[in-house]
Structure 1
Amino acid sequence: MSIGNSPEDERPFEDDREQARLSVGRALKQARIDAGLTVDDITNATRVRIAIVHAIEADDFAPCGGDVYARGHIRTLAKAVHLDPAPLLAQYDAEHGGRPAPTPAAPLFEAERIRPERRGPNWTAAMVAAIVAVVGFVGFTAFKGGDDSGGAKTQVAEGSTPSVSKSASPTPKNNKPATPKSDPSDSAIAAAPQDKVTVQVSAADGRSWISAKDHNGRLLFDGLLKQGDSKTFQDSDKINLVLGDAGAIQLYVNGKKIEDDFQPGAVERLTYTKGDPQVG
Structure 2
Amino acid sequence: MSIGNFPEDERPFPDVSEEARPSVGRALNQARIAAGLTVDGVSSATRVRTAIVHAIEADDFTPCGGDVYARGHIRTLARAVHLDPEPLIAQYDAEHGGRPAPTPAAPLFEAERIRPERRGPNWTAAMVAAIVVVIGFVGFTAVKGGDGGSDAKSQLADGAEQAASTAASPTPQKHEPAPPKPEPSDSAIAAAPQDKVTVRVSAANGRSWISAKDHNGRMLFDGLLQKGASKTFQDSSRINLILGDAGAIQLYVNGKKIEDDFRAGAVERLTYTKGDPEVG
TM-score (norm 2): 0.55
* 2:204 paired residue number: 204
Instruction: Summarize the Cα distance change of 1:171–1:275 in structure 2 as closer, same or farther, 3 Å threshold.
Output: farther
Q: Contact conserved, 1:202 with 1:228, CA < 8 A, in 2? A: yes
Q: Secondary structure at the match of 2:83?
A: helix
Post-superposition CA distance 1:192-236 (Å, at most 9, x none): 222222222122222122222222222222222222222222222
Instruction: Give the alignment of 1:113-192 within 5 angstroms.
Output: 120=110, 122-123=112-113, 125=114, 127=115, 129=116, 132=118, 135-136=119-120, 166=163, 167=166, 170=170, 173=173, 179=178, 182-187=181-186, 188-192=188-192
Q: Secondary structure at the match of 1:221?
A: strand
CA distance in 2, matches of 1:66, 1:104: 11
CA distance in 2, matches of 1:144, 1:52: 84
Q: Contact conserved, 1:75 with 1:85, CA < 8 A, in 2? A: no
* 1:100 paired residue number: 93
How much identity, in percent, do the aligned residues show?
55
Q: Where does structure 1 lack aligned partners over 5 or more consecutive residues?
A: 1-20, 151-164
Q: Secondary structure at the match of 2:91?
A: coil
CA distance in 2, matches of 1:195, 1:118: 17
Report how many residues are paired.
221
Larger Rg: 2
CA distance in 1, matches of 2:108, 2:130: 48
Instruction: Give the alignment of 1:234-273 within 5 angstroms.
Output: 234-273=234-273
TM-score (norm 1): 0.55
Q: Contact conserved, 2:201 with 2:230, CA < 8 A, in 1? A: yes
The two structures, once aligned, show a CA RMSD in angstroms of 4.9
The structure 1 residue matched to 2:81, chosen from 70, 81, 84, is 84
